[in-house]
Each structure stands twice: as C-alpha cells, then as structure tokens.
Amino acid sequence: MKKILFKYWLANFLLGFLLYAVHRTIISITDTTAETDFKKFLSLLEILLNLGFSLLYLAVVFVSSITLFLNLFAKIRNNFYASLLTFLGIPMAGLIFLLFINFQLEHDSHYPTSTLIIISVIYILFTGIQFLMFRKKIGSQVYLQ
C-alpha cells in the first residue's frame, strides 16, 4: 500500500509542480509595456501579485499532495468519501476561495486569479482521474486478498 500511495503522491506532486511552472511561464510572457510611470508601477504590482499567488499555489499543491498519505489508514481508505476528500478536498476548497476572490474583487478576465483558476481546474481534473484510478486499484486489491 505504501508503494502505491507513494507513486500516486509523486505523480500528483509532479503534476502540481508542472502546472506551477506553466503558470510562472505565463507570468513571464505577460506583456508589461506601459507608457506612463504609474502604469509601469501597476504592471509591476500585478507581476508581484501573480508571483505571490503562484507561490501560494505551490504550497497548497504540496499540502494537498501530502494528504494522500492519509489513505494509509484503513478507515479512510475503505470509506469512499473520506478517500475522495484526501484527494480533492483541499484543491476544491482552494478553487472555491479563488472563485470567491475573483467574483468579489473584479470580473475582468485579466485579473491575476483568472489564470490561477484555470490552472487549478486542470489540477483538480487530473487529481480526480488519479482518484478514480486509485479506487480501481484498491478495489482490485481487496478482491485479491
């Protein structure tokens, strides 16, 4: 069981890190040309805000990938919903928080959280697929024992 969970954790963390790298690349290719000093200052603040959000994203991905190890406990592993929460609980809460921030502050598609929301949705989709694969593997192991 430890080897299986380690493989899923490693895949989950590498996926999260890959999406972090993609987000940082998107930040770096963002057009920051501004004609006035004030607009240059605002674009610099936007870049710093994006970098802060991307570091927060990396921390959340690390914490949410560590929660996969809660499946080592039989009570959690054998309960479908508890196991689902170990895979998708923190990422879904983070996405809901980002959506709340995005809708409260601004509805602009260029707001710094909009790219992070797209990256988070991709992460949640892949983590959901990973959860289904994990449940299938766990289900086949129960019958083998």
Q: Could you state, in order of their start, the residue ranges of all structural domains in the chain?
A: 2-144
pLDDT, one tens digit per residue, over 73-126 is 889 888 889 999 999 998 899 888 888 877 777 655 566 677 888 888 999 999
* Structure-block tokens of residue 142: 């129960």
Calpha distance 60→46 (Å, rounded): 21
pLDDT, one tens digit per residue, over 29-48 is 876 676 788 888 877 888 88
Task: Write down the pTM of the prediction.
Answer: 0.81
Residue 140's Cβ-count burial label (10 Å; 0-12, 13-18, 19+) is: exposed
Q: Are 117 and 100 in contact (CB under 8 A)?
A: no
- In terms of Cα–Cα distance, which of 87, 92, 64, 89 is closest to 134? 87
Calpha distance 40→48 (Å, rounded): 12
How confident is the model at residue 58, as a pLDDT? Answer: 87
Q: Report whether pLDDT(145) > 80.
A: no
pLDDT, one tens digit per residue, over 46-58 is 888 888 888 888 8
Calpha distance 77→62 (Å, rounded): 20
